[in-house]
């Protein structure tokens, strides 16, 4: 989360009144992330304190936003712990603030776990599978806007910033992913709404009875309809690797996959395409981080992410692509 568009308390209060969320008590800009402007908001309503998050959308259009917000509400209504968007008296979830589309959601309890154990990974895997199943009857459509078509558009833009070895790797992997996407096995992968960005900092935990309890998934603003396997691969590339080296962690991998498959077993086409999807997930975030680093936008609070992390993960996934598939088959 970052602050690109600054807002004042006087500008936020009318929206809070429209949403019947009470009186503003605190407004604090959030650091971290890349795409949107976010503020933590505290209000008081009928003597109760409400903890909320205000988001102003910097790239997504007003017309695109109902998919994301309706998906979150759909999942929340089915027991998946995600932020539930606040609606006005007409049921609208998207509003205009400072010339930008905006939304307000409840703030999840807990904190992100940046050093996950196998226990954390199991909780994430099981909840991800539950989320996929809960989204099966969601009736809105939105493509994954950071999918293959976007990779093909963006790779030529970032190539001039790479050395010869990096450029060769990027182009070769993109060609491989185009080939994979044209196959019958890829077309057979189960699909539905996906989070597409389920990193460690987009999941909340809190301690309960001495053990970590998952309290929510958030930041659904890369969500779209795509293969569930791609969503799983993106998740594994963050939760189940050593960030410094990109090396997969076998224990965390097994824990996440076992838990996911306890809820939703992988199909045969999914088992066969998991190594390719792990590479695809690494490629997607290498490209986007290169783009964010070399073609940055102005922001008053912004911490850019290291693209080298996903270059390392991609190289490891290419070298060890058999390991995750073996783990999946053993589950």
Q: Tens of pLDDT along 181-198?
A: 999 999 999 999 999 999
Q: Give the burial class of 210: count Cβ atoms within 10 A of its Cβ; 0-12 exposed, 13-18 middle, 19 or more buried.
A: exposed
Last residue of a domain, one of 81, 106, 131: 106
Query: Is the residue at 189 inside a domain?
Result: yes
CATH code of the domain containing 172: 3.90.1200.10
Q: Write down the pLDDT at residue 32.
A: 57
The residues of the chain scoring below 50 in pLDDT are 1, 300-301, 323-331
How do strand 211-217 and strand 48-56 relate by DSSP bridges? unpaired
> Is residue 14 domain-shared with residue 158, that is, in the same domain?
no
Is position 111 within any domain?
A: no
Element (H, E) at 177: helix 164-181
Q: Is 206 in the same domain as 126? A: yes
Residues 170 and 92 in one domain: no
pTM above 0.95, yes or no: no
Residues 230 and 129 in one domain: yes
* Domain annotation covers residue 4: no
| pLDDT number for residue 330 | 37
Residue 113 belongs to some domain of the structure = no
Residue showing tokens 């998952």? 214
Same domain, 177 and 324: yes
SS3 labels along 49-65? EEEEEEEECCCCCCCCH
The verdict on 283 and 322 lying in the same domain is yes
Residues 240, 252 contacting (CB under 8 angstroms): yes
Stretch (H or E) spanning 311: helix 308-319
What is the Cα–Cα distance from 55 to 64, expressed in whole angstroms?
14
> For position 35, what pLDDT does the model report?
78
Q: What is the pLDDT of residue 298?
A: 64
CATH of the domain at 41: 3.30.200.20
Structural domain contains residue 3: no
Domain containing residue 82: 9-106
DSSP string for residues in 243-298: TTT-PBPHHHHHHHHHHHHHHSPPPHHHHHHHHHHHHHHHHHHHHHHHHHHHS---
Rounded Cα distance between 192 and 171, Å, is: 28
Q: Total domain count for the chain?
A: 2
Same domain assignment for residues 83 and 194: no
Q: 49 lies in a domain? A: yes
pLDDT at position 323: 45
CA-nearest of 280, 261, 282, 271 to 185 is: 271
Nearest in space to 54 (alpha carbons), one of 43, 67, 62: 43
Last residue of a domain, one of 74, 106, 138: 106
């Amino acid at each position: 989360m970052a602050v690109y568009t600054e807002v004042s308390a006087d500008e936020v209060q009318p929206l809070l009144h429209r949403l019947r969320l009470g009186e503003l008590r605190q407004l604090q800009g959030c650091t971290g992330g890349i795409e949107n402007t976010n503020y933590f908001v505290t209000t008081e309503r009928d003597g109760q304190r409400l903890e909320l998050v205000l988001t102003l959308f910097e790239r997504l259009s007003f017309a695109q936003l109902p998919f994301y917000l309706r998906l979150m509400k759909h999942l929340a209504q089915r027991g998946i712990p995600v932020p539930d968007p606040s609606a006005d008296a007409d049921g609208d979830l998207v509003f205009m603030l400072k010339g930008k589309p905006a939304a307000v959601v409840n703030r999840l309890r807990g904190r992100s776990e940046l050093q996950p154990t196998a226990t954390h990974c199991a909780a994430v895997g099981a909840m991800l599978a539950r989320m996929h199943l809960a989204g099966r009857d969601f009736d809105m459509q939105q493509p994954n806007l950071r999918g293959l078509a976007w990779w093909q558009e963006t790779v030529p833009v970032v190539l001039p910033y790479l050395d010869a070895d990096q450029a060769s790797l990027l182009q070769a992997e993109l060609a491989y992913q185009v080939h994979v996407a044209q196959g019958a096995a890829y077309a057979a992968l189960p699909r539905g709404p996906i989070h597409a960005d389920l990193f460690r900092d987009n999941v909340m935990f809190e301690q309960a009875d001495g053990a970590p309890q998952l309290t929510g998934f958030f930041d659904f603003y890369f969500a779209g309809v795509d293969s569930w396997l791609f969503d799983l691969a993106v998740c594994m590339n963050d939760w189940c690797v050593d960030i410094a080296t990109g090396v997969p962690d076998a224990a965390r991998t097994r824990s996440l996959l076992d838990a996911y498959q306890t809820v939703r077993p992988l199909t045969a086409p999914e088992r066969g395409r998991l190594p390719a999807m792990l590479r695809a997930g690494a490629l997607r975030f290498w490209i986007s981080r290169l783009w964010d680093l070399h073609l940055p936008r102005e922001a008053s609070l912004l911490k850019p992410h290291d693209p080298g992390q996903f270059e390392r993960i991609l190289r490891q996934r290419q070298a060890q692509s058999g390991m995750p598939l073996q783990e999946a088959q053993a589950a």
